[in-house]
Amino acid sequence: MLYYMFNKPQGCVTACSDAVHKTVMDYFPAELSEKLHPVGRLDKDTCGLLILTDDGDLDFKIMQPDRHISKTYFFYAVGTVNAEKIQLIENGIAMKGFTSKPAKFRLFRQYRIRELEEFIPLERREKYMKNPDGAAFAAALTIHEGKKHEVKRIMEAVGCRIFYLRRDCIGSLELDTALKQGEYRLLNEDEVNALKENK
């Protein structure tokens, strides 16, 4: 069995093929891309940790919501957080269609929007830079479900808008900081075992 860690860049889709967009498989040589498939998915504008494998059972073992495997995301967002908002995030928020499960929020640093201009997508940059001294911040959120757009929706529910999102961890498996965006490496035996054991 093959198990790869991939640092997914922004701008490509998590699919084996796509008639319009570049896919994560385009970063692999043909002899690998024919064998591998991505485990779970990351949105086109989300970067970071993605597992690719030829192990058909791994999806079920680590990506099903009822398995409660933690996934940690780092992000930059416009807005502010306070103790009340953090408590809402960590206790679970009722949203259209579902209520988020308890999550772990960690605030790293507060910024002005202008300090994070390089991370703002080009299509939103002009709008956000109209208020360059507006509030922004860096934080991480650990969730245990992985519903569609869950991290973005949780933060929007407390009045914050994420403009840069990166997955850093699945369970105990951390994104290798030596991997640049678009690079990949084989998982070692300990990492594979940790994934399979849902650690």
Which amino acid does the sequence have at 130? K
Residue of 192, 150, 173 whose CA lies nearest to 7:
173
Is 176 a catalytic site residue?
no
Which residues fall within 8 angstroms of residue 25, CB to CB, at 6 or more apart? 15, 16, 17, 33, 36, 38
Q: Are 71 and 169 in contact (CB under 8 A)?
A: yes
CA distance 160 to 157: 7
3 state DSSP class of 170: strand
| The pair of three-digit structure tokens given for residue 6, joined into one six-digit string | 């991939």
Question: What is the distance, to the nearest Å, from the Cα of residue 34 to the centroid of all Cα atoms in its chain?
Answer: 25
Cα–Cα distances in angstroms (integers) from residue 110 to residues 39, 45, 87, in the given order: 33, 22, 18
Write down the catalytic residue from 43, 54, 168, 176.
43
- What are the catalytic residues? 43
